[in-house]
Structure 1
Amino acid sequence: MPTGRITVLGLGAMGSAIAARLRDTGYTTTVWNRTAAKTAPHTAAGSTAAATVPDAADAGDVVLVVLLDHGTVREHLEPAAANLKGKVVVNLTTTTPDEARSTAAWAADHGIAYLDGAVMATPDMIGTPAARLLYSGDENAYAIAGPALAALGGAEFTGADAGLASLKDMALLAAMDLMLLGYLQAVAMMRTVGVPAVETAGEVESWLAAMLPHGKEVAAIVDGGAYDTGGQSVDFDRRGLASIITASREQGVSAQLLEPHLRLLDELSATGHGASDWPRIIDRLTIPK
């Protein structure tokens, strides 16, 4: 059975699931939450409740942070910097890449071994093979915390740049979000003729399953950088997308989700790239710094 002292800061749904999993796998757990009443189920199950973040930091060799946002993380960690010195802090709060890098720099200044994490799972998935957790930052910290992190689900170290786990998480979430918006566009269109949403969702799932492998072909075009394979062009895609937009409007369905895509294609065509492979649209997504 694993041994070690783990502190969990934050007992929302995810923090509670993490604390319970670590406790159930044999770790000595200390918990802290801003609303102290939330610690009661955990103390009843065998955890120790800390009254303050510094006390919680003192109690753990590895400190897992599962709070609301970046600002909350810094608000609670900064007063406990001396207590965290020499320890491993794993931040599992959702943050942006630059926020993760900022906290990593702060931790380094205070002698704290820091890992930033991204939880690609719902609370009920914690501790199962379906849970995927990404980590980046101090590789030695990952080695130290590794056994405990492995208890939470599939653990992946993405690199020494503390922002990488967050970046990968946000990128995959962006893909998911746009895909699910596409589901809703299809549902809205078909609902105008009485087709239930669940039926359209099944059709979309089958169609996308067939199309997803082509994503690697698109990626190869982007990595090649020439955009001259002779495949589907920007101008061809513009015509097809314009037809989808027209069909939506004919059915009384807004095309607001589709119009930004067409704008990007129109910009490419207007700058002389109408004959390029349509994945060249990625050039329009890069914002100059």
Structure 2
Amino acid sequence: MPNQTVSILGLGAMGAAITARLRDTGHDTVVWNRTAAKTEPHVAAGSRAAATVAEAAALGDVVLVVLLDHLSVREHLDPVAAELKGKVVVNLTTTTPNQARATAAWAAEHGLTYLDGAIMAVPEMIGTPVSRLLYSGDRGAYDAARGILETLGAADYEGEDAGLASLKDMALLTSMYQLFSGFIQAAAMMRTVGVPAAETAREVSAWLGAILPHTELFAGVIDSRDYSAGQSVDFTRAAVGSLIAASREQGVSADFLEPLLSRLDELSATGRGGADWTSVNEQLAIG
């Protein structure tokens, strides 16, 4: 039977799912939410409610922070630094890498044990085999809370840099939204001839399932930075140009595709049309 008390700050959809999972697996849970009424169902199910963040911090051995954004994290944690001493603070709020590093630096200044986390799951997935959470920062904090963290899903420790979990989270979400944008574009194109989005979704899922392993081939090229072979920039420019033309012919905007074509045009115009098209990766660095 777990003997650590877990305080959860924030009972939005994710905080509520995390609380329910911990409670269902035998953990003593304390909940706090800005709107106190949201604590009531959890109290009825066996959690304890804290009237303030300070009270929640004082009652918990591990404090999970599941708030809206970085500003709300600092708004609620800064005033209770004293109460958080001796606790393990795990921030599961979605923040940028530098925001995660800033909170970790604040925690270090106050002598707090702090770990940053990123949730690669939707609330319904918490506690299931497909739930994955990323953590970075203080290894001691990770080890101390690991049993609790693994209750929520696979608990991957990324390294001492507190921004690493957020960075990987943001990178993977970037690929997700680009993928979903492609589906939305495809659905808009096919809808012009009466094909339901559900049918296009099935087609896209099958196609992407077959083609996604090519990312490992692209990765080898990008890591080697040898762009002398492979599908050329100029070939890919023509292919993407055709996709844009086809979309416009159907009366559908090609806004999702045009930034890629612009990058390829730039490579071609500067004499790199014969290079592998994945060399567009080199253009993405700012400065």
1:158 equivalent in structure 2: 158
2:32 equivalent in structure 1: 32
1:241 equivalent in structure 2: 240
TM-score by length of 1: 0.97
1:251 equivalent in structure 2: 250
**Distance in 2 of aligned mates of 1:59 and 1:178:** 42
Matches of residues 204-243 of structure 1 in structure 2 within 5 Å? 204-229=204-229, 231-243=230-242
1:69 equivalent in structure 2: 69
**Distance in 1 of aligned mates of 2:195 and 2:6:** 52
1:269 equivalent in structure 2: 268
Q: Helix, strand or coil: the match of 1:156? A: strand
**Distance in 2 of aligned mates of 1:248 and 1:151:** 46
State the one-letter code of the partner of 1:268: L
Q: How far has the Cα of 1:86 moved from its partner?
A: 2.1
2:149 equivalent in structure 1: 149
Cα-Cα RMSD: 0.9
1:120 equivalent in structure 2: 120
* Farther off after superposition, 69-78 or 26-35: 26-35
Cα deviation 1:78-128 (Å, max 9, x = unaligned) = 000001112110001100000000000000111111111111111111111
1:22 equivalent in structure 2: 22
**Distance in 1 of aligned mates of 2:201 and 2:150:** 34
**Distance in 2 of aligned mates of 1:13 and 1:267:** 44
State the one-letter code of the partner of 2:222: V
Q: How far has the Cα of 1:207 moved from its partner?
A: 1.1
**Distance in 2 of aligned mates of 1:6 and 1:183:** 40
1:179 equivalent in structure 2: 179
Cα deviation 1:6-42 (Å, max 9, x = unaligned) = 1111111111111111112111111111111111111
State the one-letter code of the partner of 1:217: L
Q: Helix, strand or coil: the match of 2:212? A: helix
Query: For this pair of structures, how many residues does the alignment match?
Result: 287
Report runs of 4+ in structure 1 exceeding 4 Å deviation: none
**Distance in 2 of aligned mates of 1:206 and 1:20:** 35
2:188 equivalent in structure 1: 188
**Distance in 2 of aligned mates of 1:257 and 1:108:** 42
Q: How far has the Cα of 1:189 moved from its partner?
A: 1.3
**Distance in 2 of aligned mates of 1:263 and 1:90:** 42
TM-score by length of 2: 0.98
2:202 equivalent in structure 1: 202
Q: Helix, strand or coil: the match of 1:273? A: coil
* Farther off after superposition, 101-110 or 125-134: 125-134
Cα deviation 1:160-201 (Å, max 9, x = unaligned) = 111111110110011010011111111111111111211111
**Distance in 1 of aligned mates of 2:207 and 2:41:** 45
**Distance in 1 of aligned mates of 2:124 and 2:197:** 26
Q: Helix, strand or coil: the match of 1:19? A: helix
1:42 equivalent in structure 2: 42
* Farther off after superposition, 100-109 or 19-28: 19-28
**Distance in 2 of aligned mates of 1:243 and 1:102:** 45
1:287 equivalent in structure 2: 286
**Distance in 2 of aligned mates of 1:130 and 1:86:** 32
Percent identity between the aligned chains?
Answer: 66
State the one-letter code of the partner of 1:91: N
**Distance in 1 of aligned mates of 2:109 and 2:52:** 23
